[in-house]
Structure 1
Amino acid sequence: MSTPVRLLLCDDHAVVRAGLRALLSSADGIEVVGEAGSGEEALAVAGRVHPDVVLMDLQLGEGMDGVTATRRLTAGGPGGEGREVAPRVLVLTMFDTDADITRAIEAGATGYLLKAERPDELFTAIHSAASGRTALSAPVADRLLARMRSPHPTLSEREHEILGQLARGLGNREIARALFISEATVKTHLGRIYGKLGVETRSGAVAVAKERRLLQ
C-alpha cells in the first residue's frame, strides 16, 4: 500500500477547514496532518508536520497572504527545512482573475483550483500536486491559454476611456462624472481592467498601460 499524501490545510475560515477535513477523510491516499488559519501559521505548522502538499487559500485576512506564503513554502522556507523537497502548494480559492492566477503561479504554486470543483477533481489534483504534476481548474486553464495566445489584453472602448482617466489621476467619483456613469460602474470596469492587465492597483494599471502603449 502506497504512503498517503500528507496534506496541510490553510484557510482563514474555520468552517471551511472543517468541511475540507471532513471531505478529505473520505479520500483514499490522503491524510490531513495539519491546519492553519493564516500565512504565518501555515509556515509554522509546515515546519512541524512536513506536508507533501499545502492546500492554500489566497485571501487570508490580515497578515501574510496566500501568495507570499506560497512563495516562502516553495522556496524552501520553514516547511522545507530538513527535507530534500519543499512542499508543493495547491491553491484552492474562489478567485480566478488573471492577476491572482499569475501571482500564484509565479510564486511557485503547482496547481490552481476553484472552490466550485467537484470533490473527485480535488482529490485527483492533490495527488497530482504531490507527484509534481500541474493541476488546474478548467476555467483557469482556459484563461492561461487565452493569455498566452493574446499576450496583449484587449480592452473595450469604455475600459480605454476609464484607463485614460486613471492616467490623468482622477478618482472614481471624478471618472463617473466625466463619463456620465455611476461610481459602481466605474468600480466594475476597474476590476476588469485590473484582471486583464494582471495588476491590483491604479498605479499598476497605468504603468502597464504605458508599457504596452494602451493609452491613447
Structure 2
Amino acid sequence: MIELRPFNSLGGANHGWLDAKHHFSFANYYDPQRTNWGSLRVWNDDTIAPQSGFPPHPHRDMEIITYVREGAITHQDNLGNLGRTEAGDVQVMSAGTGIAHAEYNKEDTTTKIFQIWIQPTQTGEKPSWGARPFPKGDRSGQFVVLASGFANDNDALPIRTDARVVGATLKAGETAEYHFDEDRFGYLVPATGSVEIDGLRVNARDGAAIRDQSVIRVTAVEDSELVLVDAAA
C-alpha cells in the first residue's frame, strides 16, 4: 500500500519568519488520520526567513532529525553544543531526559529544512546532539543511510530508535530500490524533483506513506533529491 499525501493537503501555519507545513498533526493542526506513521511522529517542512529562527525551547524523549534542503541552520543547546549544518547535510538530537535548544537561520538567504521526529525505543538516556556532511554525490543513484538506530549502519548518525533515515539523489530516468523488513512503515518525500514509486507520481514535497511493501522501485521523472524514513510500528 502506498498512499499519496499531496503537498497542498498538508496542514500548517505561516508565522511570517516561519512558513511551516505539517505532514502529521502538529501544534494547532490536527488530523485524526495523520497523527503518526508507525513510530514516525512529525515531518515538518519549514521555510525560515533570513536572520530568524526558533528561540531556545525544551524537548525530552524524542529523536529529532533535521535535513537541510537549502541554506543552513545553526544549532545551539544547553549542553554547550554549537554547530552549523548546510544544505544536503543532517543533524540529529536525542532529547533523552531533557534538552533545551535553539535553531537559527543566521544566513542572508532563506533556509529550508525537513524536521523529522521519531519516537525513541530507548528512554532515560542522556541527551545528545551530532551533525555530519553527506555529500550528494555519495547518494547518486542509490539510497544511503543518514541516521540510524542500528549498530551495523556505521557511517550514519546514531539515533535511539528502531528506524533509519535514508537519502538518495536520482537523475531523470534513474531507478533505485529500497527493501523493507516485515511490518515496517515507510514515508518518502522528494525534497526536489518528482518521482514515480511503482507507478505512483510523487512530486516535490508530497508525502508517500508506504505500508506492507517488501520493496519499492523509485524512478526519477526529473532530477530528484529524496528523503525516506523506515520506521517500526
**Same fold at TM > 0.5:** no
TM-score for both structures, normalised by structure 1? 0.27
TM-score after normalising by structure 2 = 0.25
Per chain length, whose mean CA-contact separation is higher, i.e. which structure has more relative contact order (CA < 8 Å, sep 6+)? 2
Identify the structure with the greater helix proportion: 1
Bigger share in strand: 2
